[in-house]
Amino acid sequence: MPVTPANLESSFVQERENRIAAERLLEKRAHELMQKNVQLEESAKALSATNTLLHEIMAAAPKGILLCTPDFIIREANPASERKLAGGRNDIIGKHLDVFFDGASKLLSATGDGEFSLDALQATDVHGKPLMIELHGFSGSLSSDLRYLLFFRDITDKIKEDRRRVSFERQIDEARRLEAIGALAAGIAHEINTPIQYIGDNLDFLKEGLKKIHFSYTRYEALRATAVAGNQFPELVAEIDTYNVKVNLSVLVADINAALSESREGIKQVRDIVLLMKEFAHPGTGEKEEADINKIVQNVVSISRNRNKGVAKIELALEDGLPPVKCRRGQIQQVILNILLNALDALDEAKIEQGRIRIATAHDDEFLKLSISDNGLGIPEALRQKIYDPFFTTKPVGKGTGQGLALAKDFIVKGHRGRLKLVDVEGFATTFLIELPFNADLDEMRRISENVAAA
């Protein structure tokens, strides 16, 4: 087509329109890009805020938080996890979950998708220190390489506290049981005491009656001798002599007298035991009161006499003039009885041929000292720190609760601010030493005053 002015003008007009359209399109695209850029900036700010919030939540969360892959490799851990597992991120990230939570992978694999909860799981920290944890969380597709979100907290102290609470409750139950037994024993002792009194009084009456009969018999002998000398009533005298030879009346009277004396002594022993039982069952008000420890020892030895038959010889080395000490009589009686019965059980089980138990008292300016020794097999060094633990016992099932020494420690140390320990005494395998302070109340008041002043 030939170039003409008209063609050129038309071409220029078309070019200008195309340029204007292109500029408008470019302006539109630039505006759209600017809007998208604004949106991206707002999204970036929102994402940054969300990341910041998630970071703050992870940092502030009191529970340990772990994120794991489907094969239980730890990919993320919050600061609480580091604290609870006693390590840094490098010690935790990249490790298998079972390194810290023994067997957790098997348990979680069996739960399937969704929420899960494990109440008590054995765990170890970075240094291998054992702890108990409570674990819960969620399993499912969290991202391309994450599947498990775990929350955990250390419940070691809680479990210890629960065990202490259970132990305390059992001790309370044991104390209530002993209190009930004590009340029952006191009632039985009271019921026994009345017929024992009747029997004792009747024996005294029979003994006095026998004396009168014996006096009458001597008069009868004098009358018989007079009849024989005067050769009077020979047939009646012969009949009486035959009967006397048959029954040996003089020996019979002597035997009856001896039997009454022995019965009276037996009744006295029963009454003494009843009185001991009443005293043992009603040791006092529960408040501290001055007590004669030597008397308490003697009572306990008398109470346990039946258990001691053929097991051991109990030697008492009680200090004369031992000063009284303020204590809870019932608790001290229980401690001495528990340790004495433990010694008897140990000697009995060990089949010691000549069992010996020695109970000694002494004192210095600060403490009244009571030691209980036996010549059994002793307590192995490895067990000496465990014997005071509640429910720890080396006795067969059914023969011990493991509460005796735990209660003894509690009564002496907490109840009296005293000391209970194992010591070495020559000639004996085991010796428990109880030390009761004479001025425990004064020391306690001084300690409270010092604490108040410090506060």
Instruction: Give this prediction's pTM.
Output: 0.44
| Orientation of helix 329-350 relative to helix 293-303, angle to 10° | 40
d(CA 242, CA 249): 11
Q: What is the pLDDT of residues 15-43, one digit of tens each?
A: 777 778 777 877 787 777 788 877 777 77
The stretch 105-128 carries a mean pLDDT of: 86
Q: Tokens 């080395």, residue?
A: 317
The closest alpha carbon to 342, from 370, 308, 296, 316, belongs to 308
Render 140-184 in DSSP notation, one character per residue: S--SSS--EEEEEEE-HHHHHHHHHHHHHHHHHHHHHHHHHHHHH
* pLDDT tier, 94 (very low <50, low <70, confident <90, very high otherwise): very high
pLDDT of 176: 63
> Is 109's pLDDT higher than 60?
yes
d(CA 163, CA 157): 10
Q: What is the pLDDT of residues 60-85, one digit of tens each?
A: 788 888 999 999 999 889 998 999 99
pLDDT of 401: 44
The stretch 374-382 carries a mean pLDDT of: 82
| Orientation of helix 293-303 relative to helix 249-281, angle to 10° | 120
Q: What are phi and psi of 377, to 5 degrees?
A: -85, -10
d(CA 104, CA 120): 11
